[in-house]
Structure formats: structure tokens, C-alpha cells
Chain A
Amino acid sequence: MNTALSTDNPVNPAYKPKGWRLWIVAVTLVVAIVISVLWGARHKAQEGFFGLRLFPAKEAYDFTLIDQNGHPFQLSSLRGNVALFTFGFTHCPNFCPTTLSDLASVYHALSPREQRRVRILFISVDPQRDTPQALGQYVPYFDPNIIGLTGPKTEIDRTAQAYGASYEIGQKPGDAPGVYFVNHSTFTYLVNPQGKVELIYDFDKLQDTAKLKADLERVLNEPGN
């Protein structure tokens, strides 16, 4: 090793550190450029959206479930409109009423023209208890235009998996039969008029009505939408 080094720089010992310095500068520059390009790309993808933007937007899984009136409902029937949906269950006391109240608040903040192009969906992950009738007594409380969805567990599982959502039966408070909690992810998904998942909201963001409204208006007004 020493022999090889001394062959490259046989005379001037100061030459070696200078070369190392140049390499360090070059590598630092390359790293800085790569980081700035990646940061710029990320920033461009986000483009000021409040929700987490999927870039490029991902084709939304076209589920078919049963609505609160007992009719089949297919996501693609909303093509040309914006769908905002979340997973939950009607016995959920904490996340679900808050989520639906927050989403209803955003919906109410839209103009009537915008409202016609936005639908809020609530997909049950507790089909055992959440019959269409149970959903019919639950979702209209938040807004009559909210669509509650249930269906066969297999299709609910496929839908949850397709969107990266998850759920499981949780703690049973007390001994009463049929009383249990369902643990579930609490994201809200925005499917754009072209049927692609464009934005995802964490539960904590839903309280900010004005920023959600701005996202919705932006998606509705995007060219091609």
C-alpha cells in the first residue's frame, strides 16, 4: 500500500492531502446537488398542498360495497368528482365522530357548486355490527350527503389493504357480549376526479377546515379535473 502511494506521489508529501481535499470538496458538492434536487422535487410534488401528496397520484382501488340504503356502491361511480373517505366503525367514540364532524365542516365550507362535486364516504371496518341500517342511523347525523359503506368482510379487507389501511378487533370493555373496540388506521384519502388517490390526511390535520377546503378547491380546479 505504501509503495503504491509513494509511486503516485513520490516527491511532494504535501500533494496527497491536497488531493484528498479536492475529493472531499467534489463529493460534498455532488451530495449537496443531489440533496437540493431531491428536496426541490419533493417540494414540487407537494406544491403547497396541505395533505400529503402522492406524486404521481396512484390509481384508486375501485371497490364495490353496500351503502346505507342497501344499494351497491362502486367508487368509480364518482368519477369526475372528488371522493374523501376514511375507515371506521359506528361504535367508535373517539376518532370516527371527530373525523366525520371535521369532514362535514369542510364540506359545509364549500360553495353549493363545489359540494355537488365532492362526496364523503365512511367505510366500516366492523361489518358484523355495521349493517346498512346501522350506518343509515349514523352517518346522516354529520351530513345527509355522507355515504356510509359496509359489505362482505373480504371486500372490506381488500379495500383496506389496497389503501394501506389496517384494522383489528381490539379490547373488549367488560363482559357484555358483542361489545368490543376496533383498532383502525385513521387516515383520510382524497381520490381526484380522474379516480386517482392524490392526497392523504393524517387525523390531526382534519381540524384545519380552511386548509382542507383550499386543497379541495385546488384539486377541483386542476386542469383535466
Chain B
Amino acid sequence: MKCLLSVLIPAFLLPAWPGTGGYAQTLPLRLTGGWIQAVPPSAGASVAFFRIANSADEPFELAGARSSLADRAEPMVTTRDAKGMSGMESVPALKIPAHGELVLQPGGDHLMLMNLRRHPNPGEKVTLTLIINPGHKEMEVTLPVLRQAPKEIENANEHSPEHR
């Protein structure tokens, strides 16, 4: 589908498409394997998981997100103590290392979608506007709501995010 689109739509119509170059605010970030955990209608929160690769010499930070799905989207780190007790803590931002990757996955760090305004149905696609620092830049991504992690996380749901 993506190949078809790239043939049908001339490149000049896609100024924000990564790799087209020349766009002042284009971020050297690439999001893959993203999904949102399906939760029961009674749940007040859900979680977004994805990987963001950074091809630049400088690190970036994921400072949160905006979405029509939830009031707040906060970066969380998962903690595990000596007794095997797991918890999570809200942090101001999660680092996307230079020439490295930020990995958000079940049981690990994640983006928590708090105070859900509506119930995300499995199969639905939800748009998130990620807030990237420095510069408070925005990166729009669309993630599917899934009951379980995609089996082939590396190849699943690859996105070419739009940068503003």
C-alpha cells in the first residue's frame, strides 16, 4: 500500500515525509512496532508501546504526547525491586539516545494514556502527537489498538511519522 502511495503521490506533495529532506523541522527519528494495549471499557488508563530509533548525533527526549483518546499521556519508567515487585514512576521525559533507540514495551518503560475519554476498541487506530525535546517538536503517529503485542515487533506496524 505504501509503495502504491509513493508512486501515485508526487514527492512534492509530501513535504514532511522523512527522507525527502529540506524540511526545517524534520526529525531524524523513526517509529516502529507501535501499538496501544486494549483494555476493558471500565479501565481509566491504557498504555502505548513503540520503538523510536534516532539516526542523529544528538540525543532527543520523548516528553509526552497529546491525543483525543486521553487527557494526559505521560512517560513512565518501570521499576523492579529485589523482591521482584514491579511498579512504575512518572518521569519528565524518556531519552532517545544518539544513534540509538528508545524501546517502550510491555513490562518496561511506556507511555501511559491517563484518564481515557473513550474506550479504545481493538483494531481501531489512534493518533498520538508525540512531544519531542529539545525544541518541543511534534511527531504525529497512528497506532493500532491490540490485545497482545505484535508477534513480529520489528516489522509490525511500521510508520513514517509526519513531523511538524
A binds B: yes
Count class of interface residues, chain A: 20 to 34
A104 to B122, CA, bound (A): 15
| Contact call B42/A93, Cβ cutoff below 8 A | no
With A168-B85, A173-B90 as contacts: A101 and B38 at CB distance below 8 Å: yes
Interface size, chain B (Cβ < 8 Å): 33
A91 to B87, CA, bound (A): 13
A203 to B47, CA, bound (A): 17
Interface of A is mostly: mixed
A198 to B13, CA, bound (A): 61
| Contact call B86/A203, Cβ cutoff below 8 A | yes
For A169, the closest partner residue in chain B by CB is B87
Q: Number of contacts between A and B (CB, 8 Å)?
A: 99
For residue A164, give the distance in angstroms from its CB to the closest CB of chain B: 8
Chain B window 33-52, contacts with chain A (Cβ cutoff 8 Å), 1 for yes, 0 for no: 00001111111111100000
Q: Is residue B134 contacting chain A, with contact meaning CB distance below 8 A?
A: no
Q: Within 8 Å CB of B38, what residues of A?
A: 97, 101
| Contact call A185/B90, Cβ cutoff below 8 A | no
For residue B87, give the distance in angstroms from its CB to the closest CB of chain A: 3
Chain B window 103-142, contacts with chain A (Cβ cutoff 8 Å), 1 for yes, 0 for no: 0001100101110000000000000000000000000000
A134 to B42, CA, bound (A): 8
8 CB < 8 A contacts A-B: A97-B43, A98-B106, A102-B148, A105-B148, A137-B42, A138-B42, A167-B85, A170-B89
Give the 9 A-B CB pairs with smallest separation, nearest first: A183-B87, A141-B40, A137-B42, A93-B45, A98-B106, A170-B87, A185-B84, A101-B147, A93-B47
Q: Which residues of B contact A (CB under 8 A)?
A: 37-47, 74, 76, 78-79, 81, 83-90, 106-107, 110, 112-114, 147-149
